[in-house]
Chain A
Amino acid sequence: AQSVTQLGSHVSVSEGALVLLRCNYSSSVPPYLFWYVQYPNQGLQLLLKYTTGATLVKGINGFEAEFKKSETSFHLTKPSAHMSDAAEYFCAVSEGYGNKLVFGAGTILRVKS
């Protein structure tokens, strides 16, 4: 079965600093990978996804992620953090044609002024 590991349950950055949220997955087949964001008291919102093609994927709100097959990683980055980026972020992998997603445990991002 596929699995997702998010390194760091809490990450704290200063406003304007680089955001780096780590995600590693296990998969025996080429995966589809997703990053979702959850703001307080809301559901999950898609940030970006990787399916095939270009390994650097750009998403909403200035976020991007790079698929690295050799490292089985899909880390999320943003060059300059904004206070509004404070939220919980989830990495997920698609478990084949069954349309199911396997989620990581989540990383709470705190942005300090």
Chain B
Amino acid sequence: DVKVTQSSRYLVKRTGEKVFLECVQDMDHENMFWYRQDPGLGLRLIYFSYDVKMKEKGDIPEGYSVSREKKERFSLILESASTNQTSMYLCASMSSGNSNQPQHFGDGTRLSIL
């Protein structure tokens, strides 16, 4: 089974802090994704990556950046956290090729910015 592990289930940070959310997958997947989930809005794509050191903006990249130095690890960075970034963050991975393959999700990080 694919295992996607997010480093923290719950995180509380202060406004203006630099925040790192970590995600690791164990299936050698090329593609990795970061979403945020808000009630009534579903999942919205922040950034994704097709390969090491590759990244692409999703639908809501403002205020975020990402890093992919190793294939198994994809980090989401909040450069200067703000209260409107309080949300659930979900990481996913997927094998490359045909887009009929499913994405595999971690359990999420519930981030609160005070």
Residues of A within 8 A of B (CB): 4, 9, 32, 34, 36, 41-46, 49, 51-52, 90, 94-101, 103-106
Q: Which residues of B contact A34 (CB under 8 A)?
A: 102
Q: How many A-B residue pairs have CB under 8 A?
A: 62
**Can you report 24 A-B residue pairs in the complex whose CB atoms are below 8 A from each other?**
A32-B99, A32-B100, A41-B108, A43-B90, A43-B107, A44-B103, A46-B102, A46-B104, A51-B100, A90-B42, A94-B99, A94-B100, A95-B99, A99-B31, A99-B48, A99-B50, A99-B94, A99-B99, A100-B33, A100-B99, A101-B43, A103-B44, A104-B42, A105-B42
Whether B45 sits at the interface, judged by CB under 8 Å, is yes
Having A43-B90, A44-B90, one finds 8 other A-B pairs with CB under 8 Å, namely: A41-B107, A41-B108, A43-B106, A44-B105, A49-B100, A90-B42, A97-B98, A99-B96
Count chain B CB atoms within 10 A of each CB in A45, A98, A101 and give the residue with the most.
A101
Q: Is the CB of A103 within 8 A of B42?
A: yes
**What 0/1 pattern do residues 83 to 103 of B give for CB contact below 8 A with A?**
000000010101010111111
Count chain B CB atoms within 10 A of each CB in A4, A41, A45 and give the residue with the most.
A41
Q: Is the CB of B99 within 8 A of A97?
A: yes
CA distance A49 to B104 in the complex (A): 13
Q: Is the CB of A42 within 8 A of B108?
A: yes
Whether B4 sits at the interface, judged by CB under 8 Å, is yes
Count chain B CB atoms within 10 A of each CB in A32, A41, A44 and give the residue with the most.
A44
Q: Which residues of A contact B12 (CB under 8 A)?
A: none
Q: Is the CB of B90 within 8 A of A100?
A: no
Q: What 3 pairs across the A-B complex have the smallest Cβ distances? A: A43-B105, A51-B100, A103-B42
**When A94-B99, A96-B99 are in contact, do A105 and B48 touch as well, CB less than 8 Å?**
no
Q: Is the CB of B103 within 8 A of A101?
A: yes
Whether B58 sits at the interface, judged by CB under 8 Å, is yes
CA distance A17 to B114 in the complex (A): 43
Q: Which residues of A contact B100 (CB under 8 A)?
A: 32, 49, 51-52, 94
Q: Which residues of A contact B101 (CB under 8 A)?
A: 99
**In-complex Cβ contact of A106 among B31, B42, B108 (8 A):** B42
